[in-house]
Chains A and B, each alone.
Chain A
Amino acid sequence: MLEIKNLKSRIGDSEILRGLSLSVNAGEVHAIMGPNGSGKSTLAQVVAGHEDYEVTGGSVTFKGQDLLQLEPEERARNGIFLGFQYPVEIPGVNNAYLLKAALNAKRKHQGIDEIDAFEFLKLAKEKMAMLGMDPKFLNRGVNEGFSGGEKKRNEILQMAMLEPELAILDETDSGLDIDALKAVAQGVNSLRGPDRAIILVTHYQRLLDYIEPDFVHVLSQGQIIKSGDKMLAHELEEKGYDWVREAANG
């Protein structure tokens, strides 16, 4: 589904991704771990199409299509969803409006009619109930004044509404209390299926107790230096990153 080959990317003068390769198939859940500043969010943003990151080498294809040629909105409509590490507050833009506009943009792309108001509300309330969100959040500004955990839940709400084929969740677990973590995990797990893939960027094994990954990767200095199964996450939790880095360098 997603093929990243030898991807190199920089912002300004600093090279951040230095030949990163990753292959994600439909039905799989991948966890990406790695020290602060190693390039995890950069990878997520490049895949989503952020223009500040210049791609200087390598390729990214999604469902066989060259992803790097597409505008961010085209990537989204094609089925990619990025849950931001730092969701953006947009005062004055109604949360329900954004959910509906996003859903309709995708439906239009698929040649489906716009969702009617009643159906939309029903769907939104259903998803919010699953995530333990008060329906009042529909009428607030997008992430406006939301707590850290509320913002993360709101990202998952958007994901749940859009049902992307590939969801990249950048530290969605950070800042969540135990109940919220479970709710978010439930949201993610309900999306799991043979046609979909999920990339979880996380620092903590804890999330992976709830969402069991098929693969765990370690990203360091812009490259994936080790991959393994879920046991790797346990090992990292115990021993940190140094041993992986040493093994990779040595």
Chain B
Amino acid sequence: MTRQSPEDLREIVGRLPTTRDEDWRYTDLSRARDITSRWLEAGAKTVAADIDEEIERITGSIDATWFVIANGELRLPGATSGISAERLDDVPAAANALAELNSALLVDGLRVRIDGAPDKPVGLLFIDGAADAATSQAHVEIEFAAGASGDVVEYHTSQGAQDHYANTIVAISVGDNANAAHLRIQSRDLRHVQTTHTTVNTGRDARFTSASFDLGGGLVRNDIVIGISNPGAEISFDGLYLAGEGQHIDNHTRVDHRVGPATSRQEYRGILNGRCRCVWNGKAIVHKGADGTDADQANHNLLLSEKAEIDAKPELEIYTDDVKCSHGTTVGQLDETSLFYLRTRGLDRQHAKQVLTHAFAAGLVSRVPIESAKSIVSELVKTRLREIIQSDEDFS
């Protein structure tokens, strides 16, 4: 199934980023390399674990036209309306080793085109479950036709053996005057590794509104790269990451304002407890001539444990004059006065913490741009918060 020789594949694996690369300073992909090498040596065969029940459960929880990519293999939905879909053979030339790995090992790519205003969201379920160590690839292109208005839900999850690495590429293009709502939920097994590279390109007067929730995963690296090459784009993306003991979640965002006027705003929030590490690196580049750019980025973190670590870094590069840019990052702890206030009302410490952490995340949940998925997201966030707070040995 692979198009390249074992030597070539080994060579690509050898070139995956290391912590010596500036962009990967905090995120060590050794485990991804190790899992992939072992999987390749064992013949690059994935013995699927039983994931059908989980597929049923998830696709049943959000009403959408679901495309399921299970262990890298595509299952097309029965009926689609307002959507056209095809398997993708011509993956664009890879720009880096992760993309090379993706195209070299890709089983099924997918291209989805949204026309008009489909009555249901497009659902993309990336699910992995293998009996032994395995690596999987996914590559999806989503095109919103000019004037289209639609929703996309990405759901990433995994189970099975302890060693798994998923490498996913998602390319979204939003046509002129199109309106794209995007939701991404990631709740992988807490031992698993994931790298995701998402690109978004917008047409004239296009809108892209996104919310992303990282609730699981042992080692997670998300890159989102947004390119504005046509005037009038309105871009808003949020991200919430909840990290408990042992987790590492790295969000790198980049917005290229190549023309103006256009607005981009992002708000990432993190809640961390136990020995864990999160990274937020938000880059906004306002290129020469991108007059009328309005770029705003915010990152707020709540550290519930002394052992939790956050590396938050906004990076603004501005090469034109007529711009409005702002950024703010905060790292804080739960407000003791609020905690005490709630406790004097009879809520125990755990419950009070849950309430306050939930309040910290609530704004992002309420902004989920897909109404029909809001309650599910809210439940998932609550459940995960409860988990990370319970495993708490209190430092306050």
Q: Which A residues have a C-beta under 8 Å from some C-beta of B? A: 48-51, 71-73, 75-77, 81-82, 84, 87-88, 90-93, 97-98, 101-102, 105-106, 109, 141, 158, 162
Q: With a CB–CB cut-off of 8 A, which chain A residues contact B42? A: none
For the A-B complex with A71-B349, A105-B346, A158-B345 known, give 19 more contacts whose Cβ atoms are closer than 8 Å: A48-B344, A50-B340, A72-B340, A73-B349, A76-B343, A76-B344, A76-B345, A81-B344, A88-B341, A90-B338, A90-B356, A92-B359, A92-B360, A98-B345, A101-B347, A101-B351, A102-B347, A105-B351, A106-B346
> What A residues does B341 contact at CB under 8 A?
84, 87-88, 90
The reply to whether the CB of B348 lies closer than 8 angstroms to some CB of chain A is yes
For B359, what are the chain A residues with a Cβ–Cβ distance below 8 Å? 90-93, 141
Give the distance in Å from the alpha carbon of A84 to the alpha carbon of B341 in the complex. 9
| A78-B346 Cα distance, complex, nearest whole Å | 9
What are the interface flags for B340-383 relative to A under an 8 Å C-beta threshold, 1 for contact and 0 otherwise? 11111111110110011011101100000000000000000000
In the assembled complex, B330 has its CB within 8 A of some CB on chain A: no
**Size class of the contact patch on chain B:** 20 to 34
CB distance from A171 to the nearest CB of B (A): 16
Q: Does B5 contact A (CB under 8 A)?
A: no
Interfacial residues, chain B to chain A (CB-CB below 8 A): 337-338, 340-349, 351-352, 355-356, 358-360, 362-363
A73, B348: Cβ atoms closer than 8 Å:
yes
* Inter-subunit contact A88/B338 (CB<8 Å): yes
A97 contacts across to B, CB distance below 8 A:
355
Q: Which B residue sits closest to A161, measured CB to CB? A: B345
* Residues of chain A within 8 A of B360, CB atoms compared: 92
Do A105 and B344 touch (CB < 8 A)?
Answer: no
B345 near A101 with CB under 8 A, answer yes
Q: Which residues of A contact B363 (CB under 8 A)?
A: 92
In the A-B complex, the 4 residue pairs with the closest CB atoms? A92-B359, A105-B346, A102-B345, A76-B346
Q: Which residues of A contact B351 (CB under 8 A)?
A: 101, 105
Give 16 A-B contacts (CB < 8 Å), ordered by A residue: A49-B343, A72-B343, A72-B344, A76-B343, A76-B346, A88-B338, A91-B359, A92-B359, A93-B355, A101-B345, A101-B347, A101-B355, A105-B345, A105-B346, A105-B348, A141-B359
